[in-house]
Chains A and B, each alone.
Chain A
Amino acid sequence: KQEVTQIPAALSVPEGENLVLNCSFTDSAIYNLQWFRQDPGKGLTSLLLIQSSQREQTSGRLNASLDKSSGRSTLYIAASQPGDSATYLCAVKKDDKIIFGKGTRLHILP
């Protein structure tokens, strides 16, 4: 059964710092991996999607990597801003469903 784990569960960093969020998954037979952002009480915003054949994707200050064989992904956020404060969810897709991690709650200190 696919399990997705994210560490750390929570992270506070000063504004301007670069940071890395980690995700691991137990079954490497995935179609893709996706990073989402969730603001408190809100829906899910897709940030980056990496296909199983790809190693990384970039969007602005965000860079996500995928090492399928080791079951790991990282989300790198450069030059963090207070507006980046949110929960970041890692999710893997197999067949018709997406399996989510519990998320990393990120707080950027002004």
Chain B
Amino acid sequence: EPEVTQTPSHQVTQMGQEVILRCVPISNHLYFYWYRQILGQKVEFLVSFYNNEISEKSEIFDDQFSVERPDGSNFTLKIRSTKLEDSAMYFCASSTGQGRGRETQYFGPGTRLLVL
């Protein structure tokens, strides 16, 4: 069964460094998403992406964050200058976009980011 994959599974970085989290959505999906989960907290929506542009973003998704679909298969989340509070599990998800609202979002296994 097709699945969303994410790399790396774990990343440790120093505060102020840039990180890029990578995702490969399911191949025929058109909508892509990033969520994060700070340890012990809720899973929170960050951003949705369709047709090469952001379709919706949360207040968390400030100027330090950006998303890109650099080629036909990858979807990336960049954090320009990491802060301690960016430490979290980051989940990528994708959906077909057909039957808007009816389709499931399929989640990847996550990337655990630790900012020191």
Contacts and interface: CB of A to CB of B under 8 A. Distances in A.
Contacts, number: 55
Interface stretch (B13-21, B64-72, B97-105): B97-105
Chain B interface, DSSP helix/strand/loop, else mixed: strand
B110 interface: yes
Interface residues of B, number: 25
Nearest to A53: B102
A46 B104 contact: yes
Nearest to A44: B107
Interface residues of A, number: 25
Given A43-B108, A49-B104, A96-B56, 17 more contacts: A31-B100, A31-B102, A32-B101, A36-B107, A41-B112, A44-B43, A45-B107, A93-B105, A96-B33, A96-B50, A97-B45, A97-B56, A98-B35, A98-B45, A98-B105, A99-B45, A103-B42
Interface of A: 31-32, 34, 36, 41-46, 49, 51-52, 89, 91, 93, 95-103
